[in-house]
Structure 1
């Protein structure tokens, strides 16, 4: 047969037939019958081959958040992270800058699970673009995050340097607030100091009972089979089915004795952990008494002092009418830009004594001193307010909540007498009256649209709860979350990153 007479493939033959007269395959007929409708739809073929752009950045678009994070390589200082790699040994690791951007973008999407990050590196085009096609596993992601926690704190401060170069010229109004963030631990794994002695005594009784029962079973086996024999040997007489059944029952009793011993060992380990927790609480109470100048006799933990065996450094804190294992996260937010300019994580459920450290951290991070400050009644502390006012910052701090049925103070008229002490101002309710003025209401109202929304954005879109355990680790993770929040704010508000505009021109 000649080449011209060679039969063309079936697909080519179908293309020569007018589209309305093309025969439908059996699969196409079934599909059409399943989705039959009088209204025409666009053609849908998931398995149809497509010609995609060669570069993933073209698919995402220049305005995508992943593209913004890649551009940060040109403006952020990654030297604290790169400086951790000094020795050349073993296989080359993943590029630290790539791993940092991967973590930052994952947190920006509200993804903190290392296993979920690993899955996204396989299926999400934005993650694949950030990693350059690399697919680090979850162990690598988790180890990198824990290794560079201190560097993440420096990275947070560096985002404020970038913000200053991009246009943050002053901090006019600073709003300070705190929030209870759930720890990576359950409150059901906690025990109070008052219950520890009782729990240890109960475990002692259980361990003694289990060992006595196991010893009694062993004695019965020794009496039946002789000392030094296991009892599971098969002599000639054990070929008898009746005797074999008796021997199996004896073996079962031996297994039960071994289980009792194992359970006793487990309970003994638990008793030791409770004893260690008791010693740690007593040591904390001793250090606290020394700092307050109290006698050693007074250095005793309160009976309700809690110790969590999963994350000992977390604390049970009130939250929304309930209690949960948490840390207390503090943020100081600039009202004009909603950037977090200072942040910290502590163990105390109270916000007292946090105001002055936040203002000092703002000054250290940005070199700027705020003009005015707002905070709720939890921050009312004479020493802190006096320190802040000495810096020239005008404070609008709530003087406490009005009691039920108490009438509000009259609207203030004229200026308060000069030279009043803090106690005199509080006694005359001048702090509360200050917030009732037109200017005071306006300034204090900014707190509700500054710190509170930012806390909600961080907790709902970046870090819903801590993934790590221990105070130092959660501080590093919260620094990473606040750095990501600041960068997202710059991206959404269209800030021109320093140095990029000149390169584009």
Structure 2
């Protein structure tokens, strides 16, 4: 058989569609109420040629550009040192993950799932991530793994601000704010209610297990042990017996459901017992610290509460009523509003937090000229510790009590200071002077705006549970606050500027 050369296909063999599509008429722009009113042209599907660099598109004055320029000056050794294993897939660059978290918190995006979504949809996030798309599990794991390193990151912001000359320590203002924990107040129980709830749960567990056993015994008597009850002969598989079989199956399901419910209640009972034991241990430790003789027999306050979701959080009074919270403390510089010390505690009272906060300021930066605080921090011991400390004394301006709303201000004191004044009366007299009143007024324009700015960025609830998680997350939040202050102040020591382009924030 011989093969002939293929002939080119003719138009009859391969018919071509030659019908032309009609040209689309341009859309007629809408008109307003006036027949001559026109609007700007809008073409969402119009192709556009974006700049080759996302940085050029965002602009040199954008916060992401500032963070990337700042990155080489940050000491990230504590974060980098955590990666010691050579096995497995290469992780994402820790520097990228760090600036991604910093920028996300500055924009009020705390959810790891939201950060993941922004890396796909938001140009600024895409620029920081270098078009990488870390999933939310990776982001969450990175944040939780480096909680201790975020403290060092916060200190790095203070170092950079000092080197830039914008952090000049004078007086500081101290205040606290109740930040909601990642737990519901409805998952908390008081110590007095725990025994009652334990007895109710035990009775309910006993009832459920008894009912499940009764159902099992009834089926054993009817079908015999080891038989399910659905092994019916083919002759009996008719509509008359089908209903009976369904009722029997329902009884077996009900018995299994009662056992599952009993297991769930047993787990809740164990949670209550664990919380009760923790409260009793905590009460004994406090009694030993106070030097009480009968510390081993001390019992907790009946109103003491424990949360099952986040046991270390506490019920605290807020503007929205009583909520499950942590108490976030900050020390802020007067004038520049930099956070120079921060902490998260479980105590609702601020009185015991003043001296630790001042000690942290001394360790982080230097000795402040003075401390301003509201009445929640006043005690004679606090004033004594500040003004009679070894070395340079720290002048205190701490309100003794809250001013009554609408009460007229008292006039300045006259005459010499009496020698027999108590610390409280001496402080009242100091705050009534013209100078003292002016110094104390700085609190409202220093620490309160700083807390407002932190909450205004969306941080009104901790994402991480436990006291360690809350502390680590607050390190990150305060580092972001200081970096935003640096950016808005216009500081740039970040790196040597390019010869052909000077950053717009310089």
Contact 2:397–2:436 (CA under 8 A) maintained in structure 1:
yes
Q: Give the 5 Å matches for 1:461-480.
A: 461=457, 463-480=459-476
Q: Does 1:435 align with 2:457?
A: no
2:403 and 2:454 map into 1 onto residues whose CA distance is 31
The Cα of 1:269 is off from its aligned counterpart by 1.4
* Contact residue 173 and residue 332 of structure 2 kept, 8 A: yes
Q: How far 1:34 sits from its partner (Å)?
A: 8.2
The residue aligned with 1:329 is: 328
SS class of match (2:371): strand
Contact 1:462–1:481 (Cα < 8 Å) also in 2: no
The residue number in structure 1 matching 2:309 is 310
1:192 and 2:190 matched: yes
Q: Distance in 1 between matches of 2:92 and 2:31?
A: 49
C-alpha displacement of 1:402: 5.5
Which of 91, 103, 106 in structure 2 is aligned with 1:105? 103
Partner deviation per Cα, 1:342-392 (whole Å, 9 max, x = no partner): 0000000000121121111111111x2111221000001222221211242
Does the 8 Å contact 1:186/1:310 carry over to 2? yes
The one of 181, 184, 207 aligned to 1:183: 181
Aligned counterpart for 1:453 among listed residues 431, 449, 456 = 449
In structure 2, the residue corresponding to 1:50 is in which secondary structure?
Answer: coil
Match of 1:383 in 2: 381
Q: Distance in 2 between matches of 1:365 and 1:95?
A: 28
**What pairs up with 1:3-402 in 2 under 5 angstroms?**
25-26=24-25, 28-29=26-27, 31-32=28-29, 38-168=36-166, 170-294=168-292, 295-296=294-295, 298-320=297-319, 322-366=321-365, 368-389=366-387, 390=389, 391-401=392-402
The answer to which of 459-468 and 485-494 deviates more is 459-468
1:442 partner SS: helix
Distance verdict in 2 for CA 1:169–1:147, change over 3 Å: closer
Q: Give the Cα separation in 2 of the matches to 1:493 and 1:408.
A: 36
What are structure 1's unaligned runs of at least 5 residues? 1-8, 12-22
Give the secondary structure class of the aligned counterpart of 1:354.
Answer: helix
Say whether the 8 Å CA contact 2:72–2:494 is kept in structure 1: no
Confirm or deny: 8 A CA contact 2:284 2:296 kept in the other structure: no
Deviation string, structure 1 residues 210-268 (Cα, Å, up to 9, x no partner): 11111111121112112221101121342232123222212211211111111111111
Aligned counterparts of 1:233 and 1:61: Cα–Cα separation in 2: 76
Deviations along 1:447-479, one digit per CA (max 9) or x if unpaired, are 000000000111121522100000011101001
Shift of 1:149: 0.5
More helix by share: 1
Alpha-carbon contact 1:353-1:381 (below 8 Å) kept: no
Distance 1:165 1:120, change over 3 A: same
CA drift of 1:43 comes to: 2.6
- Give the whole-Å Cα distance in 2 for the aligned partners of 1:380 and 1:441: 16
State whether residues 29 and 39 of structure 2, in contact with CA within 8 Å, keep that contact through their aligned partners in structure 1. Answer: no
Taking structure 1 as reference, are residues 60 and 403 closer, same or farther at Cα in structure 2, changes over 3 Å only? Answer: closer
- Decide whether the 8 Å contact of 2:373 with 2:397 is kept in 1: yes
Please state how far the C-alpha of 1:80 moved relative to its aligned partner: 1.0
Q: 2:481 aligns with which of 482, 485, 497?
A: 485
CA distance in 2, matches of 1:109, 1:410: 45
Deviation at 1:174, TM superposition (A): 0.6
Kindly state the Cα deviation for residue 328 of structure 1 after the two structures are TM-superposed: 0.2
**Cα distance, 1:481 vs. partner?**
0.3
Confirm or deny: 8 A CA contact 2:344 2:470 kept in the other structure: yes
CA offset digits 1:16-50 (Å, max 9, x no partner): xxxxxxx9735x35x54688952233332222221
* TM-score when normalising by structure 1: 0.90
Instruction: Indicate conservation of the 8 Å contact 2:30/2:38, yes or no.
Output: no
Cα distance in 2 between the residues matched to 1:208 and 1:256 = 16
Q: Aligned-pair distance for 1:208?
A: 0.9
Equivalent pairs counted in the alignment come to: 478
TM-align CA RMSD: 2.4
